[in-house]
Amino acid sequence: MAEVLVYVDHVDGAVRKPTLELLTLARRVGEPVAVALGNGAADTAATLAEHGAVKVLTHDASEYADYLVVPKVDALQAAYESVSPAAVLVPSSAEGKEIAARLALRIGSGIITDAVDLEAGDEGPVATQSVFAASFTTKSRVIKGTPVITVKPNSAAVEAAPAAGAVEALAVTFSDKATGTKVTARTARESTGRPELTEAAIVVSGGRGVNGAENFSIIEALADSLGAAVGASRAAVDAGWYPHTNQVGQTGKSVSPQLYIANGISGAIQHRAGMQTSKTIVAVNKDAEAPIFELVDYGVVGDLFDVVPQLTEEIKSRKG
């Protein structure tokens, strides 16, 4: 069976969930060979093996942290050349897409980004994408070279599928372009203790109707009662009420959780683009005419300052 390269997104050896989802999809197309780079790379092997990686290629060097993107492209290209895979799969983060694109160009292949599903096809893997603010879905193929495909979080279930996961050292020679863009400082984000927005099973968002940074505490309280991530509409972010990293929409994150709860969000196209593929959608809004109600499975027309705290209390008491 052909091998499929899977680029591993990890933090100091802790594998992030989208990579495990990628392994589920990779197994549909071939035998997953994982590539883990940087600090803690070898520590990823056990988790990757549990989820189907037959091999884990690892390499650590200071270049991965000290310079932007290109060292990782050099390493992924080295892995590509040593494995000759049937496809290369990369998580659809901002950096993942840049790495994948540059690799595709170097190896003379096409690239598909932000796939939400992947199946084996007679002429190679077929990727499903969600386009035009998720109003259409497309099925596409790479028709030249080895398919390079990036896949969005929450596109597949994480499945246990024990495999050998044999660790092999990857030999990497950095190109003369590898050190072009220096990372002169890095400030880690403070952990909120909540799930990552794009990976969360439940997302609770606030918009213009929240009416102030201080009021986001009621959104956070609801999120915490459900173990959810917190999102914000562009209006709320532009007003400075919540950080841009939490923005859901065309210019922020696009999320596809099991449950999305929109509070005080009208549902403009800019926002819909980022949440329309959620499985179940719920909204609370004062305005019965708000377009968000066209999307919902359940909607409450009312003041979020009444409805949301009552909902939070009810969830807490039901959960005991």
Partner 1 sequence: MSLRIVVTVKYVPDATGDRHFADDLTVDRDDVDGLLSELDEYAVEQALKIAEDSDDDVEVTVLTIGPEDAKDALRKALSMGADKAVHVEDDDLHGTDAIGTSLVLAKAIEKAGFDLVVSGMASTDGTMGVVPALVAERLGVPQVTLLSEVSVEDGTVKGRRDGDAASEQLEAALPAVVSVTDQSGEARYPSFKGIMAAKKKPVESWDLSDLDIEAEEVGLDGAFTKVEAVAERPARTAGTIVKDEGEGGKQLAEFLASQKFI
For residues 113 and 226, give the distance between their C-alpha atoms in angstroms, rounded to a whole number.
31
Q: Which stretch binds partner 1 (CB under 8 A): 54-62, 88-96, 155-163, 205-213?
A: 88-96
| Residue 158 · residue 51 · CB < 8 Å | yes
Per this entry, what is the length of the chain?
320
Question: What distance in Å separates the CA atoms of residue 79 and residue 103, rounded to the nearest whole number?
Answer: 11
CA distances from 107 to 121, 126, 144, 313 (A): 22, 20, 10, 56
Least distance (Å) between residue 33 CB and partner 1:
23
Q: Whole-number minimum distance, CB 119 to partner 1, in Å?
A: 12
Question: Residue 10 CB, nearest distance to partner 1 (Å)?
Answer: 11
Is residue 90 part of the contact set for partner 1 (CB under 8 A)?
Answer: no
> Please, how many CA atoms are within 13 Å of residue 224, restricted to the half-sphere of its CB?
10
Whether residue 208 is annotated as binding a ligand: the answer is: yes
Locate 213 and state its tokens: 């940074």
| Number of neighbours of residue 196 by Cβ within 10 angstroms | 13
Is 244 known as a binding-site position? Answer: no
Closest distance of CB 118 from partner 1, Å: 14
Q: Tokens 């600090």 identify what position?
A: 39
> Is 95 among the residues that bind partner 1 (CB under 8 A)?
yes
Interface with partner 1 by CB under 8 A: which range of 34-42, 95-103, 163-171, 213-221? 95-103
Which is nearer to partner 1, 168 or 174 (by Cβ)?
Answer: 174
Residue of the chain from 17, 40, 61, 141 that contacts partner 1 (CB under 8 A)? 141
Among 1, 144, 160, 289, binds partner 1 (CB under 8 A): 144
Q: What angle do CA 125, 130, 132 make, to 5 degrees?
A: 140
Q: Token digits for 133?
A: 């603010």
Site for partner 1 in 33-72 (CB under 8 A): 68-70
- Among residue numbers 215 through 254, which ones bind partner 1 (CB under 8 A)? 226, 244-245, 250-251
113 is in an annotated binding site: no
- Asked if 104 interacts with partner 1 (CB under 8 A), we say yes
Tokens matching residue 114: 């932000």
CA distance 201 to 198: 9
Instruction: Tell which one of 164, 169, 213, 269 touches partner 1 (CB under 8 A).
Output: 269
* Residue list for the binding site for FAD: 208, 233-234, 247-251, 264-271, 285
